[in-house]
Structure formats: structure tokens, C-alpha cells
Chain A
Amino acid sequence: MTALLAGSRAVFPSSLGAPRLFAGLDADHRALDLAGHVAVHGPLPSADLPRLVGLLDAVGLSGRGGAGFPLAAKLRALSAPARRVVVNGSESEPASAKDRALMRHVPHLVLDGALAVAAAVGARRVTVAVHDEWTATALTRATGERVDTRTVRVHRTGDTFVSGEARTLVRELTGGPALPPGRRVHATERGILLANAETFAQLAVLLRLGPRRFAATGTPDEPGTALLSVGGAVAHPGVLEVPLGMPLGLVLRHVGAEPSDTVVLGGYHGAWLPTDPALPLSRRGVDAAGGSFGAGVVLVAGSQTCALGELARTADWLAAQSAGQCGPCRFGLPALAADVRALLRGHPAALPAAQRHAALVDGRGACSHPDAAARYVRSGLAVLGDELNAHRRGGCGRPVLGVLPIGRTS
């Protein structure tokens, strides 16, 4: 079964363990309106900047965007009041649906967090970047219900993978092209405080619970919950809120995953890993296993599809998503994808070529796309040894079903 978490389709939010972000959602997953939001979560305490940073530091809240960069560090990097707070809900990773789920079903949590930060840093504008119309409508409706959202604007981002990248988004919002800049300028240097939508929602929960209650779930190093986008060969795809550190096996069982030798964690800037049911789903746990938590994407390849073919499809997609600005990425990623296709056809020389191309593109571009794409492909090749051997001998006998989602339909 192919399970797409595409833009315009419904995203089913659920939880393993007590929900926090998804608290109060009924079986129909109707959006919590303002009254419902206040009934479930209570009033939002105010906090000045030092208190905000103190709370974030007390629980070590990692950013919930792909890089996991802590919000506290961004706040500290501001040398002057920020002009604008940007909520990055663009979610251009095709397999991720958590930010959409938040903004469609519990938009007021995201708005609470963003407005709290805006007040603390003196920003007069809040921009929420989203991709699809359903999410934009849900957010606009929610802002309309509140009196404190006069300066909140919803911005629709484009279709490309790169359009969700932080510096690209900042550039687009400040009148530039939707392309990564050639120089590594951080958003805070331009007076913009940008963070992932879920980060703001987690902050809204933290403000209400305080550090001790916030840390009642999760791990000592990574307290709290995280949103996982679970898809691929599973019976119940969707967005799952789990305490950080939840073992992978429990998640796979909960979603009715097909037996699978491998999983992809962190999406296509993440890594293929052998399926280890005991693997703790936390940044530390996944890092220790040689992977990357990223934005919490969990994809199951399953046992019915040709996994090497899935790697080839996603490698092709990564190559196509190059912004095309930088030679090594523009030429190197297609070469790498071609190497994977050659491995599908059983050419032995394609493996050293793939390794060479992956090493060649690493670090040689304006953004992290070539680095992360190369790491993703290498990880696939590393765990699919048996597949590679089978294809060298003529094939694995399985069709390429297209289980891993690419592109989005919005």
C-alpha cells in the first residue's frame, strides 16, 4: 500500500501516550476554535525575553525544524529587537505533514507561541509561511478569532523543496528570490526571528506547563513530545505525537507497519537505517544510530517494494530539487542519481562512482542540500547491501511500488 502524506489530503493527528499539542482533539479531528483552545489549554501566561529564554534553556527545547537548532540560541543571537517573527510552516519536505496538522487542527497553539515571541523580542510583524490553501484558510480563520493578531500575515510559499529552507524563505519574504543566498547570513542578522511551526507550539505548551511539568514526559536530555510524520508501507499513516525517546518498534506497531528491514528516518535529508525496534526516537537516539531525526519523518519501505528502486526514485527527486545555482549540486546530484539507477541495473562500477560523487558534492554549495542529499543516498547504499548483490545477479524480483512519497499534491 502506498501512503502519501500529500498537501491537500487530510492528515490524521493522533498520539501515543498523553497528547499535548494534540490535546483536546475529538475523533473527527475538527479544528479547535479559540473557545475550545482556551478550554483545553487554559490562558497563556505572558513572559518577557529573559523569562522566555530561561524556560527554553531549562528544558533544552530543540527546534522542531530539520536542523533542531534551539530557539533559545536564536533569541540570544538577536543583538537588537527583531523586526519580524516568521513561523516556518511551509513544510516542503514531501513526507512531512506535522506542521500542516498543527496549523489545521490546533492553530491557536502555533499563534500563541509566535505572538509570545513577538512580544518578547519587540517584533511588530508576524508572518506565518504555509504552502497549501487548506492550511492557509485554517490559520486565517484562527487569526480572525483573536484580538491580538492584527499584525499576523499568512504567506503562501511555492512548490519547491528549497522554498521551505529558512534563509530562502527569509529572502523571499524580504523581497528577494526564493533561492538560498550565496553567503551564509543568518536570519537573526537581518532582524528576523524564524522558527518552525511546531517549535512555537511546543513553546506555547511550555509557557503554560512550566519546565517541571513539561519535562514530565520525554527523556532527561530531551523532555517533551515530538510530532512524527509516519508513512510509507503502513496501515495508518499520519502525524503521531509521541514522548521523545519512544522506541521505534512501538511506533511501527501502532501504525500497522509492514515488516521491513529498513526505515528512513528524517526524510530525504535524513538516513536509511536498519529497522531496530529498540531505537529511541529522539535526536540523541537517532544520532547514535548513525541517522538524523530531522523533522520527525518516519518512512517504512516495507517488504513488497524494491528498496533500491525506492532509493533511486528519491535520489532522482533530490537531484530535481536542486535550485540549480551551484555547479557541484546541479551536476553532482543528477550524477549520483544516475549511479543509483545504474546499480539498479546491476553495474558493479556504479558503486565506487556513487561514493565518489557523494563525497564530491558534500559541502560544495550555498546550502545544505547537496550535503544532506549525499548523506541520504550513502546511507541507503550502506544498508541495502543485500539488495545491491541481488541486482548485480539480475534483480531482486520486486517491483518499484513508489512507497516513499515524493512531490506534493496541493
Chain B
Amino acid sequence: MKLELDWTRCDGHGVCAQLLPDRIDTDEWGFPVLAETAVRPEQLTAVRRAVAACPALALRLDNTRARPGAGGSR
């Protein structure tokens, strides 16, 4: 499982960083810095709580394996 962040929704409320202080820090503007996106089974409960608590609904738990990035093509 991977913890994914939709940056277009995130407003820097900081709830996630408060709930998951070992995983999420905040930058000087209040936006989350994710140390680690992989979520181990024993971490799921805590991570789910943060996902549910985000006021902007910006967090998501993703089950699919990471696709190789195609980058932004022009």
C-alpha cells in the first residue's frame, strides 16, 4: 500500500503531520513533507485515520503498484 497525496487538494492544514509525526513533517509554508510513502500492514490503522481526517481530502491509500513515470510530455 502507498500513501498518495493529491497536491491540487492539499491546503497545508497540517492535520496529517500532527497525526503521523514520524512520517510527515511540514515545510516553512505548512505543506507536508512525506518521509516515506510505503505503508506496512501494522501502520495501516494510523494512516487510515490521517487519510480520513484531512480537511481537504487530499490523502489517499493506493493499492496499485507504482507505474513507471512517463513524465510530462510536451
User: Which of A160-168, A228-236, A395-403 sits within the interface?
Assistant: A160-168
Of A91, A181, A183, A327, which is within 8 A of B11 by CB? A327
Against A, the Cβ 8 Å flags (1 = close, 0 = not) of B23-62 are: 0000111110100000000000000000000000000000
The verdict on A327 contacting B30 (CB below 8 Å), with A180-B8, A182-B9 known, is yes
Cβ–Cβ contact B73 & A65, under 8 A: yes
Cβ–Cβ contact A67 & B8, under 8 A: no
Of B29, B67, B73, which is within 8 A of A327 by CB? B29
Of A166, A180, A182, A369, which is within 8 A of B73 by CB? A166
CB-defined contacts of B33 to chain A, threshold 8 Å: 360, 364
Cβ–Cβ contact B72 & A366, under 8 A: no
Cβ–Cβ contact A181 & B8, under 8 A: yes
Q: In the complex, A164 Cα to B73 Cα: how many Å?
A: 9
A residues contacting the other copy or chain, number (CB 8 A): 39
Cβ–Cβ contact A331 & B29, under 8 A: yes
The verdict on A69 contacting B70 (CB below 8 Å), with A182-B9, A364-B7, A366-B8 known, is yes
Cβ–Cβ contact A165 & B74, under 8 A: yes
Cβ–Cβ contact A196 & B9, under 8 A: no
The chain B residue with its CB closest to the CB of A370 is B7
Tell whether A241 is near chain B: CB-to-CB under 8 Å.
no
CB proximity to B under 8 Å, residues A312-361: 325-328, 331-332, 360
The verdict on A67 contacting B9 (CB below 8 Å), with A327-B30, A328-B31, A331-B29 known, is no
The verdict on A69 contacting B71 (CB below 8 Å), with A179-B8, A325-B8, A366-B6 known, is yes
Cβ–Cβ contact A66 & B9, under 8 A: no
CB-defined contacts of B72 to chain A, threshold 8 Å: 66-67, 165-167, 180, 367-369
Distance from B28 Cβ to chain A, minimum over Cβ atoms (Å):
8
Tell whether A195 is near chain B: CB-to-CB under 8 Å.
yes
Tell whether B69 is near chain A: CB-to-CB under 8 Å.
yes
Cβ–Cβ contact B74 & A328, under 8 A: no
CB-defined contacts of B12 to chain A, threshold 8 Å: 327
Tell whether B19 is near chain A: CB-to-CB under 8 Å.
no
The chain A residue with its CB closest to the CB of B32 is A364
Tell whether B15 is near chain A: CB-to-CB under 8 Å.
no
Cβ–Cβ contact A93 & B31, under 8 A: no
Distance from A130 Cβ to chain B, minimum over Cβ atoms (Å):
13
Q: In the complex, A15 Cα to B69 Cα: how many Å?
A: 34
Tell whether B3 is near chain A: CB-to-CB under 8 Å.
no
CB-defined contacts of A69 to chain B, threshold 8 Å: 70-71, 73
CB-defined contacts of B71 to chain A, threshold 8 Å: 67, 69, 368
Cβ–Cβ contact B8 & A328, under 8 A: no
CB-defined contacts of B4 to chain A, threshold 8 Å: 183
Of B11, B29, B67, B74, which is within 8 A of A66 by CB? B74
CB-defined contacts of B73 to chain A, threshold 8 Å: 63, 65-67, 69, 88, 166, 194-196
Of A63, A65, A326, which is within 8 A of B8 by CB? A326
Q: In the complex, A332 Cα to B28 Cα: how many Å?
A: 9
CB-defined contacts of A360 to chain B, threshold 8 Å: 27-28, 33
CB-defined contacts of B30 to chain A, threshold 8 Å: 327
Q: In the complex, A194 Cα to B29 Cα: how many Å?
A: 36
Cβ–Cβ contact A164 & B11, under 8 A: no
Residues of chain A touching chain B, judged by Cβ–Cβ distance below 8 Å, are 63, 65-67, 69, 73, 88, 90-93, 164-167, 179-184, 186, 194-196, 295, 325-328, 331-332, 360, 364-369
Subset of 25 A-B contacts with CB under 8 Å:
A66-B73, A66-B74, A67-B71, A67-B72, A67-B74, A91-B74, A92-B74, A165-B72, A166-B72, A180-B72, A182-B8, A183-B6, A184-B69, A194-B73, A326-B10, A327-B7, A327-B10, A327-B11, A327-B12, A327-B29, A327-B30, A327-B31, A360-B28, A365-B7, A366-B8
Which 10 A-B pairs have CB atoms at the shortest separation, nearest pair first? A182-B8, A65-B74, A182-B6, A326-B7, A67-B71, A327-B31, A66-B74, A325-B8, A67-B73, A368-B72
Known: A332-B29, A368-B71. 8 other contacts (CB 8 A): A65-B74, A67-B71, A93-B74, A165-B72, A165-B74, A327-B7, A331-B31, A364-B31
